[in-house]
Amino acid sequence: MRRNPVKDEAGKGGSGEVVLCIHGFPSSSHDWIKVWGGLQGRFGRIIASDLLGFGFSDKPLDHNYSIFEQASILERLLETLEVKEVHVLSHDYGDTVALELLRRFLDRQKSPEKDAAHLQIRSVCLMNGGFLPETITFQWGQYLLTTSLGPYLSRLGNFYTFRGGVGKVYGPNTKPSPDEVNDLWALMRWNDGNLALG
């Protein structure tokens, strides 16, 4: 059984109003900390989990990570938590996982034998992500990590290359503070996560 830490808290909204927050790359569910209070004011329950290979989750090195597996892990998590209906809030890498969850939901809706026991998605909010994989423009370093050089390059990365690369994905007015960059780096390196990037 793989470990995927989960934050599951009550909010002030209606009891049936559940939001699933899916984080981006290369971070964790900690991404949502600055908006958590606002989400608690709107929803009755807020759920965020570190995706496999991220944050404090397990980070198997010889593993073929996939969007499909991440979506299946989240479906099992929601089933374990007895969540039947959910709003989805995602960004970056999490957008692609959210789109896979949405595809599964829509496919089940079209099926003549659709089962009400399956997860119902009430709304989806996608932020800062590539919706069409063929249109995504990678940073040069990101592209190299997807090639056969990835496993070797991930071992050469250091804090300074990470800081330079991560700064490029933020907007001009939303750059992370030095402490936030340090936190991201620590989370990525926890349990040798940087070695699982390639």
**Residue, of 35 and 134, whose pLDDT is higher:** 35
How far apart are the C-alpha atoms of 157 and 184, rounded to whole Å?
A: 14
Q: In this predicted model, what pLDDT tens digit does every residue of 75-84 receive, in sequence order?
A: 999 999 999 9
Considering the entire predicted model, what is its pTM? 0.82
* Alpha-carbon span 12 to 17, nearest angstrom: 10
How confident is the model at residue 117, as a pLDDT?
64
Residue 96 CA to residue 120 CA, distance in Å, equals 18
Quote the pLDDT of residue 59. 85
> Percent of the chain scored above 70 by pLDDT?
79
What are 93-139's pLDDT values in tens digits?
A: 899 999 999 999 998 888 766 666 678 999 999 998 766 666 666 66
Question: What is the per-residue DSSP string for 20-61?
Answer: EEE--TT--GGGGTTTHHHHHHH-SEEEEEPPTTSTTS---S
Rounded to an integer, the average pLDDT of 64-85 is: 93
Fold classified for 1-136: Rossmann fold (3.40.50)
Per-residue confidence (pLDDT) for residue 151, from 0 to 100? 65
Mean per-residue pLDDT of the chain: 84
User: Range(s) for CATH 3.40.50.1820 in the chain?
Assistant: 1-136
The first and second tokens of residue 135, run together, are 């249109």
